[in-house]
Amino acid sequence: MRKQSPFPLFVTFLAAPLLGAAACSNSSSGAIRPADAAAARDGAPVLQNTGGTGGATGGTGESTSMGGSTSAGGSTNAGGRTSTGTGGNKSTGTGGSTSAGGNTSTGTGGSTNAGGRTSTGGSTSTGGSTNTGTGGRTDTGGRTGTGVGGNTGTGGNAAAGGRDGTGGAVVPDGSAGTGGTTVTDGSPPAGSWWKPVAGLSWQWQIGGGTINPSLAVDVFDIDWEQDASVVTQLHQAGKKVICYVSVGSWEDWRPDASSFPAAVLGNDYPGWPGEKFVDIRAQALRDIMAKRLDVCKTKGFDALEPDNMDVFSDNSGFPLTQSDGVDYAKWLATECHARGMGIVQKNASEITANIQSVYDGALTEDCYNDGWCADMQPYIDANKPVFACEYTSSIFAAACAWGKPKKYSFILKSLDLNAPVTFCP
């Protein structure tokens, strides 16, 4: 783990492109952390669809897609969604549905499913009734399409929660389609979250300095205390945004610092006054982290960067094991996905094999300089990104030559993790 020197975070926005390269230095082992009492440590494109063929609700109210997609409790319309949960409806006509209770729709409208979606056209049953149970989502306030194409357009997401395909235009909640309309409530369907692909460009800025939405990158990684307006402006500029949270330490400058019970606070974090390791096994600690994830979700972040998730390998003051680390990592993934957010593994390469299947990417520090980038190869093999930050300028060219053909996303930063960044040529 590495850390940066603390200082206050003041963020402004510039329209001009960001220029400049990071001045980097070698550093001994430790974790990067945000500047002063406001920023935190350690961070595919969003294109606003404005029309055409590709919303989740077709023009006549039915859920249709090119290739289809799966959603729990949803409905299958002609070539569209396949229900996998109770209350799901299977289309027998244009937008019609057969409910789990046997109510057959013969009309041309959509259907209201218990736990599913309400189409704008409604449903007509010939001998039953319209299912309107709790949990139903109304398309008119959510994912509304303008024509054929559904949740997945050509080159877009291949299924509910599928990976963004090459060429698919992505709306802020991560769904994709060719010309689909922008989601209006910001709420992805159950089981859906951003699933980035290998090779994305990124900026990691959890320190101070100006956040520049016009910077030509796919992804920004910023602190969880940033204002929601920052996330919104980055989305408007076509970026996905990762939420930095230290999940393995207590920081005395955080707004929720007083909510940590003494029992979960361990040894001091060496070299960083005001910070302590935490007991990742404790339910009280997980309750606090769940609230932080709620903040990330409310602000519109697309994924989580869980810093210090490798606390089990430190002298934390608790008898933590690698198994504890795996359990905590999987809990974090479950919590993020339940909120419609992705999650990237932060360092902790020794547990990659245990968690890669449930994580959406990885973020590393000095893996090339320290010789462990290959530990993250399972992510690349699964077409998931490895956001790789190097702090050592003398080896950066070699890191790029090695990693770029493999789709590792290398950047060069200084330890303060401010705005300056150097990309591979």
Q: What angle do CA 246, 252, 258 make, to 5 degrees?
A: 100
Torsion of CA 257, 262, 265, 268, to 10 degrees: 90
| CATH 1.10.3720.10 for the 202-423 domain, yes or no | no
What is the Cα–Cα distance from 80 to 332, expressed in whole angstroms?
32
pLDDT value of position 111: 36
Give, in order, the Cα–Cα distances in Å from 185 to each of 33, 65, 138.
Answer: 33, 20, 11
Count of residues making up the chain: 425
pLDDT value of position 384: 98
CB atoms within 10 A of CB 88: 26
pLDDT digits (tens, 9 = 90+) for 284-302: 999 999 999 999 999 999 9
Q: Give 309's DSSP letter.
A: T
pLDDT tens track, the chain, 425 positions: 544 444 334 343 443 333 333 333 333 333 344 433 333 333 333 333 333 333 333 333 333 333 333 333 333 333 333 333 333 333 333 333 333 333 333 333 333 333 333 333 333 333 333 333 333 333 333 333 333 333 333 333 333 333 333 333 333 333 333 333 333 344 455 579 999 999 999 999 999 888 999 999 999 999 999 999 999 999 999 999 999 999 999 999 999 999 999 999 999 999 889 999 999 999 999 999 999 999 999 999 999 999 999 999 999 999 999 999 999 999 999 999 999 999 999 999 999 999 999 999 999 999 999 999 999 999 999 999 999 999 999 999 999 999 999 999 999 999 999 999 999 99
Burial pattern 142-174, b for ≥16 Cβ within 10 A else e, equals bbbbbbbbbbbbbbbbbbbbbbbbeebbbbbbb
pLDDT value of position 130: 35
Q: Is 172:239 a contact under the CB 8 Å cutoff?
A: no
What is the Cα–Cα distance from 301 to 299, expressed in whole angstroms?
6
3-state secondary structure of 121: coil
Q: What residue has token string 């089990």?
A: 312
Q: Give 174's DSSP letter.
A: S
The segment(s) of the chain belonging to CATH 3.20.20.70 are 202-423
pLDDT digits (tens, 9 = 90+) for 211-250: 999 999 999 999 999 999 999 999 999 999 999 999 999 9
Six-digit token string for 26: 């070698």
Give, in order, the Cα–Cα distances in Å from 402 to each of 30, 179, 372, 386.
Answer: 25, 37, 13, 13
Q: Is 98:108 a contact under the CB 8 Å cutoff?
A: no
Q: What residue has token string 């093999």?
A: 381
Check: pTM over 0.85? Answer yes or no: no
Question: Helix 322-338 vs helix 283-299: angle between axes, to the nearest 10 degrees?
Answer: 40
Q: What angle do CA 255, 259, 261 make, to 5 degrees?
A: 140
What is the Cα–Cα distance from 156 to 171, expressed in whole angstroms?
10
pLDDT digits (tens, 9 = 90+) for 301-343: 999 999 999 999 999 999 999 999 999 999 999 999 999 999 9
β-pairing, 137-138 with 82-83? unpaired
Beta strands in 158-289 (DSSP E): 169-170, 176-177, 202-204, 219-223, 240-246, 249-251, 265-268, 275-278
pLDDT value of position 190: 57
pLDDT value of position 210: 87
